[in-house]
Amino acid sequence: MPAEPTRVEEQRAFTQGEFNAFAELSGDHNPIHVDPDFAAGTAFGATVAHGMMLFSAVRGLIARHYPGSRMLSQALMFQAPTYADETVRLVLEPLDRPTAGQLRLATRIVKPDQRHGLIGECLLQLAEDDA
């Protein structure tokens, strides 16, 4: 029988270089993400991460901890800006026991002040070995 899913947490800081690389990849060159001088004059005061870049990091964490799983659904909200060089925690937390090979996870990016850069929930179809 597979191990019971547990909370997973990983710390990381996104860099301005990663913001810029994601802009190149996605085509989203909004200056709030890539122009520190412009962003300094906004309500944010500095550049902020692309929301989908944050989700990509969460999706990578899911792939590392639930290899072979398929994401069936994902709901997301970006409640607070995530800044370059800000150390955040990526968190996956099972919301219940797996049922019929499926697992619901809370997905979060938690800032140092405990606000959420990303908060959501996903439904995974686990790989047969984990179901």
In order along its 131 residues, the chain shows pLDDT tens digits of 346 788 999 999 999 999 999 999 999 999 999 999 999 999 999 999 999 999 999 999 999 999 999 999 999 999 999 999 999 999 999 999 999 999 999 999 999 999 999 999 999 999 976 65
Q: Would you state the pLDDT for residue 131?
A: 52
Q: What is the CATH number of the domain that holds 109?
A: 3.10.129.10
Asked if the structure places residue 100 within a domain, the reply is yes
Asked if the structure places residue 113 within a domain, the reply is yes
Asked if the structure places residue 131 within a domain, the reply is no
Q: Would you state the pLDDT for residue 4?
A: 74
Alpha carbon of 118 to those of 1, 15, 48: distances in Å? 32, 17, 12
Asked if the structure places residue 71 within a domain, the reply is yes
Alpha carbon of 103 to those of 52, 108, 121: distances in Å? 22, 16, 10
Asked if the structure places residue 87 within a domain, the reply is yes
CA atoms in the 13 A half-sphere facing the CB of 21? 7
Asked if the structure places residue 103 within a domain, the reply is yes
Q: Would you state the pLDDT for residue 128?
A: 79
User: Which residues constitute the domain of residue 89?
Assistant: 8-13+48-125
Distance CA 120, CA 131 (A): 22
